[in-house]
Structure formats: structure tokens, C-alpha cells
Amino acid sequence: MAIRIKARGSESVEQMLRRFKKLCEKEGLTKEVKKRQYYEKPSERRRRDARKTASRVARVGR
């Protein structure tokens, strides 16, 4: 899916770029790019997910 931005009236390039960055952040594109920047082994991914789940369960249990 492509993110497209059209100029609104007399909007400057800086304002359009700011709007584009906010839209990318809202779509989760920047997180996805950072996450895929380096290869992560499937075992490491499962370990990270397990740690995240354990911390979430510990927080709810309080």
C-alpha cells in the first residue's frame, strides 16, 4: 500500500513532509522498518515474544 500526500492549497514542502511523517508513524511503517533493519532468528523472536507476554502477565497480576 502506497502512502500518498497531496498539497493542500499553499502548503509548503516542509509542512507536507511533516504530514507524511505523521502518517507513516500512524500506520506503523517506521516501527516496521526499524524492526526489519536486521535479521532476527525465529528462536530469538519467540524468546522476545515470550518475555513480552511474561511481563504483561506480571503487570496484570499486580
Residues of the chain under the 70 pLDDT cut = 1
Contact predicate 45/21, CB 8 Å: no
Question: DSSP label at 10?
Answer: T
Q: How far apart (Å, rounded) are the C-alpha atoms in residues 58 and 52?
A: 10
